[in-house]
Structure formats: C-alpha cells, structure tokens
C-alpha cells in the first residue's frame, strides 16, 4: 500500500527513540540520568491536580465549546493583563489540545501550497513539519551567537522572498533557550508587516526566563498569532492543553477548523488549568523557575570546566545547546555512545538543526542538581576517552 506523499518529509524525532533506549537500560538495572527530554522532574502543581480531581468528581466530563471553556479563556486574558499589561478580548483566545493543536490550526489557516515560511535553524522540528504538512516551503535560516540564536529583523528582511507568507519565531527557543526582547520582537513585527506578511510566535516556554522578565508578542506585536502551552511553565505536559491568541478576523475560520479537527480540548484538563493562575500555584511555579535557574548555573559552571560552555548562555527554557565539534562530527553517534557507555541521555543536534546539527547536542537541565553534577562527572570521563 502506498502512503500519502505529504508524510515523506516528516523525519523521525530521534530523541523519542533515544528516550526508549534510555528507559530500556533503566529497566535492565542501569542508573540512567535523563537530560534528553523536554520535561522537568517536577510533578504537576498540587492545586492543578486538585482542581482536575474536583472536576472529575463533579462530572465535568462533557464537551466544552470548540474554542475552550469560557472561564479559562477569561483567565488566560487576565494572565496577559496581569503579567504584561496587555488587555485582549478573551474571544481572541482559543484553547487547544496542547500547543501542537494551536500550531496545527495556525498552519492550516495561514499557509497553503506555494507559500514560503521563514524560521530559524535550529528550531523545534515539529514547527517545520506542521508547515510542510500544509504544503508550504520552509526556509530555515541558520542563526548563531551573532543574532542571539534568533531570527531577528535583519535576517527576516534579508531572506524575505516574494512568495514568503509567514515568519515564525520561538522565544524562549527550543533547542537553544535564547530569547528576543520586546524591541526585538517589535522590530520583527514591523518588518513582517511592511512586507504584508504574517507573524507567528511560539511562546511555549514563556515564563521560564532567568536573566530578564518574560515578554510576550501579545504586548508588542498585537497583530501576531501567538502560541502558548500549559505544558512547560505550568507543568502540565501530559494534560495536553495549550492556546492560540489570534487577531479578531481570524477567530471565525479558526473556530470552524477547531470544530472539525479536534472538536474540543479535554474538559477535565481545562477545569484543572483554571487553578494554574491562582496565587498559590503562581508561588510554586516561581519557586520552580528559580530552581531551574540554579540548575542552569550549575550546569554552565561544569561545562566551563570541561571547555564546553556555550559562548552565549541560554536565557530561558531549560536547555543548553552545545557545540561538541572538538570531540565529534556525528552528534547522533556521540549521544548514542554516551548513553551506552555512561548512562547519560542527551539529544543529538540533528533533531533540531538542518545545518550544523551534527556538531551540536542539546542538554535539558530537567533533573536535580545532584544528578546534574553526576552527569557532568560522567561526561568528563566520557570525553577523556574520545
């Protein structure tokens, strides 16, 4: 049987295979340190879990509107007002099954066959694949320390093509953990608007910043489409809940898409997410952010001792993007051997970068400090043998 040609360009997400191997080694009795997956070791905050349990106990298991529970849309709008001073109509917010649901809606609405999309290289690979499934061409623009590992306004201007329809940013980014500040976001928005294009901003790691307050395109690029998630900052990975902020004119077609593509997001998860904005939960989430900041600094100090520290430290998320070309030109083999020889799981850069991925790896500081220190000792032992 032949399959649809649209799936031919969708590459496997290698980190998931590496995770399976790491878990198999654990099951065989090995002490594996997991630094490969984008999921911290923190459980979902207790207030969120309690709210979900209460929702189930009260029988809140029927469909919500396709755009989401009205109270949750209002709570998200309140979040933007409280944290960023951005007042938006809750009607502009669509609650989705994870940020992936939001990206699916945005890609299906905004691009079609023949359109071109600008995004940074490296980036989260699913961002490329969503656009490819909508039959758009992705122009992956190599970025590095000189642009802060971001697709900035000058790069957008330089690489814009007559067929370019959309520019996509991610801040903080996966895999590099780097951010765009408000002026930088605003400059990209102005450049895209001048070209009569559309700006899509992935803010899935928003809230997880360490050296400056978080910013949102909602506040500085009001016509942008903005994707966010309850997974990363709010600790709800398995609940599969995200949202999309869109301009007024886009809400009707997005609603029709949502009604037909996924009908509605999980009702218990939406009720649980209402508690994510409570003062009690916010206090716990900020404690976790400070802990991730400590972990980042411990990891960077250890990498500095090994001569591996990045020239530009990550400003957010929970990743370090490392150039390991002194030790390998095959990041996939490097990660495989590190797992097999030292039981440390990290991610090969080829998952994220079309250019230079074979020289880079991503380390997620999603384990506690004692485990990070142990991982650094094992990594030192490993590279001494290279």
Q: Is residue 221 part of a domain?
A: yes
If asked whether residues 219 and 348 sit together in one domain, one would say no
Mean pLDDT of 218-222: 93
If asked whether residues 300 and 351 sit together in one domain, one would say yes
Q: What is the CATH number of the domain that holds 189?
A: 3.40.640.10
If asked whether residues 116 and 254 sit together in one domain, one would say yes
If asked whether residues 231 and 346 sit together in one domain, one would say no
pLDDT of amino acid 170 = 98
Question: According to the 3-state scheme, what is the secondary structure of 21-75?
Answer: HHHHHHHCCCCCEECCCCCCCCCCCHHHHHHHHHHHHCCCCCCCCCCCCHHHHHH
Helix (DSSP H) and strand (DSSP E) numbers for the chain: 13, 12
User: Which of 258, 277, 296 represents a domain boundary (last residue)?
Assistant: 277
Query: What percent of the chain has pLDDT above 70?
Result: 100
Count up the domains in the chain and report the number.
2
pLDDT digits (tens, 9 = 90+) for 313-326: 999 999 999 999 99
pLDDT value at 11 more than 80: no
Q: Is residue 121 part of a domain?
A: yes
Residue 116's nearest CA partner among 141, 139, 148 is 139
Mean pLDDT of 126-155: 95
Determine which of 11-25, 131-145, 247-261 has the lowest per-residue pLDDT on average. 11-25
User: Which of 277, 299, 328 represents a domain boundary (last residue)?
Assistant: 277
More confident call, 6 vs 65:
65
Q: Which domain, by its residues, includes 264? A: 46-277
Q: Is residue 307 part of a domain?
A: yes
| Residue 50's pLDDT band (cuts 50, 70, 90) | very high
Q: Is residue 345 part of a domain?
A: yes
Q: Are strands 225-229 and 242-245 parallel, antiparallel or unpaired?
A: antiparallel
User: Distance between terminal CA atoms of the chain?
Assistant: 45
For residues 11 and 128, is the Cβ–Cβ distance under 8 A?
no
For residues 359 and 349, is the Cβ–Cβ distance under 8 A?
yes
pLDDT value at 8 more than 90: no
pLDDT value at 4 more than 90: no
Taking the CA atoms of 296, 302, 308 and 310 in sequence, report the sign of the dihedral they define.
positive
Q: Is residue 1 part of a domain?
A: no
pLDDT of amino acid 13 = 77
pLDDT of amino acid 38 = 87
| Residue 334's pLDDT band (cuts 50, 70, 90) | very high
| Residue 336's pLDDT band (cuts 50, 70, 90) | very high
pLDDT of amino acid 14 = 77
pLDDT of amino acid 10 = 76
If asked whether residues 190 and 58 sit together in one domain, one would say yes
For residues 14 and 352, is the Cβ–Cβ distance under 8 A?
no
Residue 360's nearest CA partner among 347, 369, 370, 373 is 347
Q: By three-state DSSP, how is residue 2 classified? A: coil
Question: Going by C-beta distance under 8 Å and a sequence separation of 6 or more, which residues neighbour residue 259?
Answer: 66
pLDDT of amino acid 37 = 86
Q: Is residue 258 part of a domain?
A: yes
User: Which of 262, 277, 292 represents a domain boundary (last residue)?
Assistant: 277
Average pLDDT of the chain is 95
If asked whether residues 34 and 78 sit together in one domain, one would say no
Question: Going by C-beta distance under 8 Å and a sequence separation of 6 or more, which residues neighbour residue 197?
Answer: 160, 164, 165, 166, 167
If asked whether residues 37 and 53 sit together in one domain, one would say no
If asked whether residues 139 and 193 sit together in one domain, one would say yes
pLDDT value at 24 more than 80: yes
Q: Which two tokens stand for residue 143?
A: 């970025």
pTM, 2 dp: 0.95
If asked whether residues 290 and 160 sit together in one domain, one would say no
Mean pLDDT of 216-245: 96
Q: Are strands 33-34 and 116-121 parallel, antiparallel or unpaired?
A: unpaired
d(CA 141, CA 126): 16
If asked whether residues 111 and 242 sit together in one domain, one would say yes
For residues 174 and 319, is the Cβ–Cβ distance under 8 A?
yes
If asked whether residues 255 and 348 sit together in one domain, one would say no
pLDDT digits (tens, 9 = 90+) for 254-305: 999 999 999 999 999 999 999 999 999 999 999 999 999 999 999 999 999 9
Residue 113's nearest CA partner among 92, 137, 91, 97 is 137
Burial 207-232 (b: 16+ CB within 10 A, else e): bbbbeeebbbbbbbbeebbbbbbbbb
Mean pLDDT of 366-386: 95
If asked whether residues 96 and 123 sit together in one domain, one would say yes
pLDDT value at 363 more than 80: yes
Q: Is residue 2 part of a domain?
A: no
Q: What is the CATH number of the domain that holds 372?
A: 3.90.1150.10
């Amino acid at each position: 049987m032949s399959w649809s040609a649209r799936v031919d360009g969708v590459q496997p997400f290698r980190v998931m295979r590496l995770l399976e191997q790491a878990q198999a080694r654990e099951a065989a009795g090995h002490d594996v340190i997991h630094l490969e997956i984008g999921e911290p070791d923190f459980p979902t905050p207790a207030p969120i879990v309690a709210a979900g349990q209460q929702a189930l106990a009260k029988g809140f298991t029927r469909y919500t509107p396709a755009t989401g529970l009205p109270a949750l849309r209002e709570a998200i709008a309140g979040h933007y007002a409280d944290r960023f001073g951005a007042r938006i109509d809750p009607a502009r917010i669509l609650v989705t099954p994870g940020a992936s649901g939001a990206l699916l809606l945005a890609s299906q609405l905004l691009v079609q066959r023949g359109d071109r999309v600008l995004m940074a290289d490296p980036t989260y690979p699913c961002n490329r694949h969503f656009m490819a499934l909508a039959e758009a061409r992705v122009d992956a623009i190599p970025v590095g320390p000189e642009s802060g590992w971001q697709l900035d306004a000058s790069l957008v201007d330089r690489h814009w093509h007559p067929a370019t329809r959309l520019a996509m940013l991610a801040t903080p980014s996966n895999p590099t953990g780097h951010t765009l500040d408000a002026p930088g976001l605003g400059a990209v928005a102005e450049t895209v608007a001048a070209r009569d294009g559309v700006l899509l901003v992935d803010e899935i790691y928003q809230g997880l910043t360490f050296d400056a307050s978080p910013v949102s395109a909602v506040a500085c690029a009001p016509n942008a489409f903005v994707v966010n998630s309850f997974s990363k900052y709010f600790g709800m990975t398995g609940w599969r809940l995200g949202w999309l902020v869109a301009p007024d004119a886009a809400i009707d077609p997005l609603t029709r898409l949502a009604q037909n593509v996924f009908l509605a997001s999980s009702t218990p998860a939406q009720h649980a997410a209402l508690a994510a904005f409570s003062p009690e939960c916010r206090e716990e989430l900020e404690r976790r952010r400070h802990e991730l900041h400590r972990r980042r600094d411990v990891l960077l100090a250890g990498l500095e001792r090994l001569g591996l520290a990045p020239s530009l430290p990550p400003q957010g998320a929970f990743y370090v993007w490392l150039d390991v070309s002194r030790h390998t030109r095959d990041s996939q083999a490097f990660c495989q051997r590190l797992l097999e020889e030292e039981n440390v799981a990290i991610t090969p850069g080829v998952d994220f970068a079309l250019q230079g991925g074979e020289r880079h790896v991503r380390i997620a500081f999603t384990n506690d400090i004692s485990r990070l220190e142990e991982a650094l000792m094992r990594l030192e032992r490993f590279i001494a043998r290279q």
